[in-house]
Amino acid sequence: MIYPDLELHVPETLGKVHFVGIGGSGMSGIARMFVDAGIDVSGSDSTENANTKALRELGIRITIGHEAKNVADANTLVVTGALWQDNPEYQKALSDGLLILHRSQALAWLTRSKKVIAVAGAHGKTTSTGMVVTGLLGLAQDPSFVNGGVIESLGVSAAAGKSDVFVIEADESDGSFLLYDTSVALITNVDPEHLDFYGSRDAFMNAFVSFANAAKDLVVISSDDSGALEIRSQLTHPNIVTFGEAADADVRLFDVNTDGFVSFKLAYQGATFSAQLSVPGHHNAVNAAGAFAVLVSLGFDPASTLAAIAAFGGTKRRFELHAVINGVRVLDDYAHHPTEVQALLTSARTVADGGRIIAVHQPHLYSRTRIFAAEFADALETLADHTVVLAVCGAREDPEPGVTGELVSERFTDATKVRYVGEWQAAAEYIAEVAQPGDMVITMGCGDVYRMIPQIISALEGANS
């Protein structure tokens, strides 16, 4: 894994910029905005996808496959944290002395001199960022934004606006959320993780304290999450707004109805406001309350703000429906932490219409699998009707002896509710065997499990042909 150098001075002029892994949702958005800024951009990725095709249409030279020659004329290299250090383009940049920027440093360069609204937290960042952006657009504002996922109604994860407001999803996993010159900090929740980077829980929590206290104008933070409450008790910021279901929340959420698309009420400054979203789940009502708290604190009319947020239609890889095959719905979600899996399956149950939920869980990272195997098993066994556990997606980590997806499946108390299938095609065929009309199959994980969906669809079609 490549971590950002938080002390690196990034010059005003970057020259020609080459993106390694340009097809990712975050990287492709930043590359697009670099082009908008008049920068000569090139890029590479291991596989072709919709993002690389769209970027080619902008005139960006993109190579499929990583080779040293791809960076021959570049002055600056932009990389993701997930890049392996033996990548030939990264090694070429090192040997040639090029400026190497982590993705977050490239984003920080884009946000310079802007009013930054930075959304951080263990869960809900992408959705909350999308809600803030959707709200601003509905209020006739024109923000720039970079989100971790494509906003469905806009069809993009990033865009350059004409106002001085820049909304970003800020990543805490590697400390990079401390890079931004943040004006408004939105903290959805604080769930200590990524201790491989921070070294200790205290260091992780202290990073959130630093992130919040450094915000120039405002901190918006959950009134309910235990980690957020711990952070809040240590803040010295003069302007803190809370949101959630706590009785003392500045924006208080109540009367949440999760039957179908979620509806709720918000109490703010003595008035009550109601809304129904176009997405399911109690957690999305909480996310909407956080986005509302940000925008009304910036001076926008509360009723108009909530109506604008309610137009949010979701983001890709967040409970995204791909197909309905012979009555079986096939969906995909980014959930990769036990808390996220719990929230996803709880909201899925509200729209399951009596059908079964078949969870397809791809463990992500060997360290996370080892640490949270029991918690994953508990959430999956309790909230899904049946679970298929896949092999671990190691991403940036080297394999750990003895750490496989079976660490999760073996922790089920009822072995009939789970099946470990390490090979994707075999897993797709098994899913097709057990799925029935009315069932909901949900692939979940922040790795590449979404690439398995065509195999599932094909197997379901074949099972009924």
Among 261, 279, 362, which residue's Cα sits nearest to residue 319?
279
Which pLDDT band holds residue 436 (cuts at 50, 70, 90)? Answer: very high
On whether residue 267 sits in a domain, the answer given is: yes
Q: How large is the average pLDDT for residues 95-112? A: 94
- CATH number at 193 reads 3.40.1190.10
Q: How large is the average pLDDT for residues 286-297? A: 97
Same structural domain for residues 55 and 73? yes
> Average model confidence (pLDDT) for the chain?
91
Same structural domain for residues 146 and 76? no
Which pLDDT band holds residue 107 (cuts at 50, 70, 90)? Answer: very high
Evaluate whether 38 touches 16 at the Cβ level (below 8 Å). no
127 assigned to active site: no
Among 170, 272, 174, 156, which residue's Cα sits nearest to residue 220?
170
Residue 334 has pLDDT above 70, yes or no: yes
**Residue 463: per-residue pLDDT:** 77
Q: How large is the average pLDDT for residues 288-307? A: 97
Higher pLDDT, 399 or 292: 292
**Residue 74: per-residue pLDDT:** 95
The CA distance from 148 to 144, in Å, is 14
Residue 272 has pLDDT above 70, yes or no: yes
**Residue 456: per-residue pLDDT:** 96
> What percent of the chain lies above the pLDDT cut of 90?
69
**Residue 381: per-residue pLDDT:** 97
Q: How large is the average pLDDT for residues 266-275? A: 97
**Residue 45: per-residue pLDDT:** 92
Same structural domain for residues 233 and 345? no
- CATH number at 29 reads 3.40.50.720
Q: How large is the average pLDDT for residues 90-107? A: 94
Same structural domain for residues 190 and 286? yes
On whether residue 344 sits in a domain, the answer given is: yes
> Last residue of some domain: 78, 103, 128?
103
Residues 6+ apart with CB under 8 A from 318: 126, 127, 149, 279, 333, 334
**Residue 422: per-residue pLDDT:** 92
> Last residue of some domain: 73, 103, 133?
103
Which pLDDT band holds residue 300 (cuts at 50, 70, 90)? Answer: very high
On whether residue 382 sits in a domain, the answer given is: yes
**Residue 42: per-residue pLDDT:** 95
On whether residue 434 sits in a domain, the answer given is: yes
**Residue 337: per-residue pLDDT:** 85
Residue 192 has pLDDT above 80, yes or no: no
> Last residue of some domain: 72, 103, 134?
103
- CATH number at 422 reads 3.90.190.20
**Residue 336: per-residue pLDDT:** 86
Which pLDDT band holds residue 261 (cuts at 50, 70, 90)? Answer: confident
**Residue 465: per-residue pLDDT:** 57
Same structural domain for residues 377 and 435? yes
125 assigned to active site: yes
| CA dihedral sign of residues 147, 340, 337, 207 | positive
Residue 194 has pLDDT above 70, yes or no: no
The CA distance from 176 to 446, in Å, is 19
Same structural domain for residues 92 and 74? yes
| CA dihedral sign of residues 20, 26, 32, 34 | negative
C-alpha 378 chain-centroid distance: 23
On whether residue 4 sits in a domain, the answer given is: no
On whether residue 413 sits in a domain, the answer given is: yes
The CA distance from 178 to 330, in Å, is 38
Q: How large is the average pLDDT for residues 205-220? A: 96
**Residue 266: per-residue pLDDT:** 98
Same structural domain for residues 170 and 37? no
Same structural domain for residues 276 and 161? yes
The pTM of this model reads 0.79
Same structural domain for residues 279 and 417? no
The CA distance from 265 to 249, in Å, is 13
Spot the catalytic one: 126, 127, 129, 387: 126
On whether residue 12 sits in a domain, the answer given is: no
Higher pLDDT, 463 or 104: 104
Q: How large is the average pLDDT for residues 231-253? A: 97
> What percent of the chain lies above the pLDDT cut of 70?
98
63 assigned to active site: no
Q: How large is the average pLDDT for residues 22-36? A: 89
Spot the catalytic one: 89, 169, 381, 429: 169
**Using one digit for the tens of pLDDT, what is the confidence trace for 375-422?**
999 999 999 999 999 999 988 788 999 999 999 999 999 999 999 999
Q: How large is the average pLDDT for residues 423-443? A: 95
Same structural domain for residues 99 and 118? no
On whether residue 11 sits in a domain, the answer given is: no
The CA distance from 436 to 240, in Å, is 50
Written as six digits, the tokens of 305 are 């703000």
**Residue 41: per-residue pLDDT:** 96
Range of the structural domain that residue 447 is part of: 320-463
Spot the catalytic one: 125, 127, 182, 404: 125
Which pLDDT band holds residue 223 (cuts at 50, 70, 90)? Answer: very high
The CA distance from 213 to 177, in Å, is 13
Instruction: Count up the domains in the chain and report the number.
Output: 3
Same structural domain for residues 413 and 277? no
Judged by average pLDDT, the poorest of 132-136, 256-260, 353-357 is 256-260
Same structural domain for residues 410 and 447? yes
**Residue 394: per-residue pLDDT:** 87
